[in-house]
Structure 1
Amino acid sequence: MTSGFDPSEYGRHIAEVYDDLHAELSADAAVAVIAGYANGGAVLEFGIGTGRIARPLAAGGLHVDGIDGSPEMVEQLRRNPWGESLRVEIGDFSTTTLGRRYAVVVLAYNTINALPSQEAQVQTFRNAAAHLEPSGVFLVENWVPDVAGFHRGRAVRAHELAEGRVLVEVAELHPAVQRITATRLAFTADGVRLLPVEHRYVWPAELDLMARLAGLHLEERWQDWDRGPFTDDSSTYVAVYRKDP
């Protein structure tokens, strides 16, 4: 197990190739859900990254701000002309404040796991609640931990097998602290790129309790942004946490 947990390390390694590696991800369904809950109000995205979700939201006429811990990821966002119009603070989204309220706060694509501890995750919910307007919503997208996928604490998974690129992840499980230490290996014609990442994985019910501690309550949970039903077989989910009146 590594001696430290730096949630910004992933961005330092992957920022230059993030959009290319995740080109297959569509933001359409997420944007539709977020815009619907915003109903013309402002949106704050924790972990805004390169702007995959923020860009279409802003293009649709919504005011969008962001917080991200990786200067390298924000630099990629700023390289786009539309990126200059977004207010983005570089900092820890569990504690950084922007001094205004929002109709929606978003934490997408499993980014809750990038935080190093349960306390940091609890604080993220409190920070989201502090940024929300009365009855605003905090939208969290995450995966369901699959500890059974590890054999003797280790796993090798093929994430992508495509012409010109193979993406493989080698991971080690640390169940005592709910942490996964992993390295993704991106094989391309240009060589091999190592992308280290750490997760403090969290269970759906654990997030629900964090929400209650922050004055939020679970309103809905779906399997995905298309609002598919969340079942025993679901490997991902989107949770809608409403601020208590």
Structure 2
Amino acid sequence: MTSSDLWTAEAAERYDESSTAMFRPEVLDPTVDRLVGLACGGRVLELAVGTGRVAIPLAERGVDVSGIELSQPMVDRLHAKRPDLPVVVGDMAAATVPGEFSLVYLVFNTLGNLRTQAEQVACFRNAARHLGPGGRFLVEIGVPSLRRLPPGQTAVPFDVSDGHLGVDTYDLVGQQGTSHHWTREEDGRFRYGVHHYRYVWPEECDLMAQLAGLEPESRWSTWQGDPFTGDSESHVSVWRRP
């Protein structure tokens, strides 16, 4: 049994609308451009493919892309938009897709959906077993915002706007995080949603990659290739199978 939260039909129905900012060209285009370049014309596999925010534009660019996704309702939403995109329903730490890939990737913090270190290590190993020689594994994930925590406090706001309030709470011992979302509805009321995750440090990702037999290739703070520094709030990292 996976520790991941499972997206329900209701959550899948409103996922694209609630993630509108991630579909904006200035966000999505650099992501797709980078992945097309790293694929080098080969097959591509997205872990936690969701409703196809990234996979569908890749397919539209002529990339042979497949997916693995835990939530059947999310897959149904994807197939409503692109019926021919192959998706295996299952846990990204264990489910497999036939054949070899030149690129396997995880975007938008989805590695954290696996809420134990053992599952995250298994995910790296699962990615590695799908790669052909010289193939790459890419992860986009945030750097934990623990520096923002005042002494004795366990909550950090990450979005305060007219339509949404977002707050992360942390279990510093268990390396667990919970994102709390209060979203304003059309009638003025607020809908509460919650998402659980395990936060992971960049060096910890490197160790997981090493355990999977992968070698570090690059790390940026953005999809455009900006340098990763101590002040970066996220990273896009690439490891390669020898």
The normalised TM-score by structure 2 is 0.91
2:101 is aligned with 1:131: no
Listed as ranges, the gaps of 5+ residues in structure 2 are none
Partner of 2:190: 192
Question: Where do 1:16-55 residues align within 5 Å?
Answer: 16-25=13-22, 26-55=27-56
TM-aligned CA deviation for residue 48 of structure 1:
0.4
Question: Where do 1:50-69 residues align within 5 Å?
Answer: 50-69=51-70
Question: Where do 1:216-231 residues align within 5 Å?
Answer: 216-231=214-229
Matching residue within 203, 207, 210 for 1:209: 207
In structure 2, C-alpha distance between the alignment counterparts of 1:41 and 1:65, rounded to whole Å: 12
Listed as ranges, the gaps of 5+ residues in structure 1 are none
In structure 2, C-alpha distance between the alignment counterparts of 1:194 and 1:170, rounded to whole Å: 11
What SS does the aligned partner of 2:59 have? helix
Matching residue within 168, 172, 176 for 2:169: 172
In structure 2, C-alpha distance between the alignment counterparts of 1:196 and 1:8, rounded to whole Å: 9
TM-aligned CA deviation for residue 150 of structure 1:
3.1
Deviations 1:79-114 (A, max 9, x none): 21xx21111111100000112110100100110101
Letter in 2 for 1:226: Q
TM-aligned CA deviation for residue 223 of structure 1:
0.4
Query: CA distance change for structure 1 residues 172 and 12 in 2, over 3 Å: closer, same or farther?
Result: farther
Question: Where do 1:100-115 residues align within 5 Å?
Answer: 100-115=99-114
> Is the contact between residue 13 and residue 195 of structure 1 (CA under 8 Å) also seen in structure 2?
no
In structure 2, C-alpha distance between the alignment counterparts of 1:158 and 1:128, rounded to whole Å: 30
> Is the contact between residue 43 and residue 63 of structure 2 (CA under 8 Å) also seen in structure 1?
yes
What SS does the aligned partner of 2:123 have? helix
TM-aligned CA deviation for residue 181 of structure 1:
2.3
Query: CA distance change for structure 1 residues 158 and 178 in 2, over 3 Å: closer, same or farther?
Result: closer
In structure 2, C-alpha distance between the alignment counterparts of 1:115 and 1:12, rounded to whole Å: 20
In structure 2, C-alpha distance between the alignment counterparts of 1:12 and 1:99, rounded to whole Å: 28
In structure 2, C-alpha distance between the alignment counterparts of 1:186 and 1:221, rounded to whole Å: 33
Letter in 2 for 1:18: Y
RMSD over equivalenced CA pairs, Å: 1.8
Letter in 2 for 1:24: A
What SS does the aligned partner of 2:144 have? coil
Partner of 1:94: 93
Query: CA distance change for structure 1 residues 119 and 153 in 2, over 3 Å: closer, same or farther?
Result: farther
2:79 is aligned with 1:78: yes
Moved more, 143-152 or 57-66: 143-152
In structure 2, C-alpha distance between the alignment counterparts of 1:134 and 1:111, rounded to whole Å: 25
What SS does the aligned partner of 1:225 have? coil
What SS does the aligned partner of 1:195 have? strand
The normalised TM-score by structure 1 is 0.90
The size of the alignment, in residue pairs, is 236
What SS does the aligned partner of 1:62 have? coil
Deviations 1:99-140 (A, max 9, x none): 211010010011010102000000000000000010000010
